[in-house]
Amino acid sequence: MTLPLPHPALAATDPELAALVGAEEQLQADTLRLIPSENYVSRAVLEASGTVLQNKYSEGYPGRRYYEGQQNIDKVERLAIDRAKALFDVEHANVQPYSGSPANLAVYLAFADPGDTVMGMALPMGGHLTHGWGVSATGRWFRGVQYGVRHDTGLIDFDEVRELALKERPKIIFCGGTALPRTIDFAAFAEIARESGAVLVADVAHIAGLIAGGAHPSPVPHADVISTTTHKTLRGPRGAMLMSREEHAKALDKAVFPGLQGGPHNQTTAAIAVALHEAAQPSFRDYAHAVVANARALADELLARGFDLVSGGTDNHLILMDLTPKDVPGKVAAKALDRAGIVVNYNTVPYDPRKPFDPSGVRIGTPSLTSRGLGTQHMAAVAEWIDRGVSAAGAGDEDALAAIRAEVAELMAAFPAPGLSA
């Protein structure tokens, strides 16, 4: 298949929009995509997301709907639920949350009342907005108390987390985050949650695919609730799931519907089912382990080029670079790398002296490039491009960025992306 992909009906009805989709396909094909929360879904997942399941209203759950005509939809949702339960080895799965943020909001609805104390990792330390950060509804409607990482190690200090939990007695403790390069110790969090009487939620949005593929320890049986998006390392459509033991099934289901949402997005449920099927194949285990091997190799190559990595490296798919020693602000570097065909995001680093909209760091990850088949043997080239790109950013050398862009496109052409190729 050559780009742009054929979308004949779209092209005939709305050529303007079709052109934008085609341009995005080309951009995703040509660039080195290093944003750790992104990926490439398969053609099968794309096809499932574009089906007539979209046309159906299905408020309720399989066998208990408020609308008739669910002969097929019930089976689709049951398939997704059964596959989630089998893949993650959980007793209960809800596949209806529209995305990760609403999934987390449903957890609050299930286990806390407005004004209650909740605990999570602070956003600038690597947590997520929905873990009780001030600007989020979760930080406005609940009393969010926040833990971080140690300044010297970049790692979570469990003595500090325990002290905070025993002092504040939160109803819910969230672990997991968006910029955590190290393995999450679910057992340590579970012990603290037990001691303080809190419900432990493992938000594994970033690492769900690594867990499914056996490349990161599972939060089962430690966490009371597992929240995850389906579109990051899990390589499914944009969506989310909540999983738990049977004991919490009712509370979670009631919170998602009718507590927070109306009708589920059945086309997304179908695509989640497909992604879970793909993630259950032996090749997905290889993928998950390759993501981690690539990240480790890339971290080593960056360290060898004088980059400062938060926590000194990575255990998973994600690397957080502190560019302070390079004397280039994160945003300047990110925008320059974008012009060089390397797509990253600027990010705060723990104890960042700069402002969140203009921070010191850049966050990168290996899920997308691994989906294209790049291996550890390519990570020296990737690190070299980043190094040259950051230097060019500091020097304002647009010619150097253009040269990198051409080299990147040449390598990417040799590794067609899932979903963008036949």
Q: Which residues are catalytic?
A: 57, 59, 203, 229, 232, 238
CA dihedral for 413, 289, 419, 229, sign (positive or negative): negative
Residue of 213, 136, 216 whose CA lies nearest to 176: 216
Total number of residues that touch ligand PLP (CB under 6 A): 14
Min dist. Cβ of residue 128 to ligand PLP (A): 4
Stretch that binds ligand PLP, among 8-16, 95-103, 247-255, 301-309 (CB under 6 A): 95-103
Q: Give 15's contacts (C-beta < 8 A, 6+ positions apart).
A: none
Min dist. Cβ of residue 93 to ligand PLP (A): 17
Minimal CB distance to ligand PLP: which residue? 100
Helices and strands (DSSP H and E) totals, the chain:
16, 15
- Answer for which of 171, 206, 248, 363 binds ligand PLP (CB under 6 A) is 206
- Answer for which of 42, 99, 117, 376 binds ligand PLP (CB under 6 A) is 99
- Answer for which of 205, 234, 297, 374 binds ligand PLP (CB under 6 A) is 205
Binding of ligand PLP by 230 (CB under 6 A):
no
- How far apart are the C-alpha atoms of 369 and 349, rounded to whole Å? 24
Q: Which stretches does DSSP call E strand in 224-374?
A: 225-229, 240-244, 308-309, 318-322, 342-343, 345-347, 361-365
Residues 139-178 that bind ligand PLP (CB under 6 A): 176-178
Stretch that binds ligand PLP, among 100-108, 146-154, 312-320, 409-417 (CB under 6 A): 100-108
Min dist. Cβ of residue 376 to ligand PLP (A): 25
Percentages helix, strand, coil for the chain (3-state, rounded to 5) are: 50, 15, 35
Q: Position of tokens 């950051």?
A: 390
- How far apart are the C-alpha atoms of 242 and 96, rounded to whole Å? 8
Residues 27-66 that bind ligand PLP (CB under 6 A): 37
Binding of ligand PLP by 101 (CB under 6 A):
yes
367 upstream amide cis, omega within 30 of 0: no
Point out which residues bind ligand PLP (CB under 6 A). Answer: 37, 99-101, 104, 128, 130, 176-178, 203, 205-206, 229
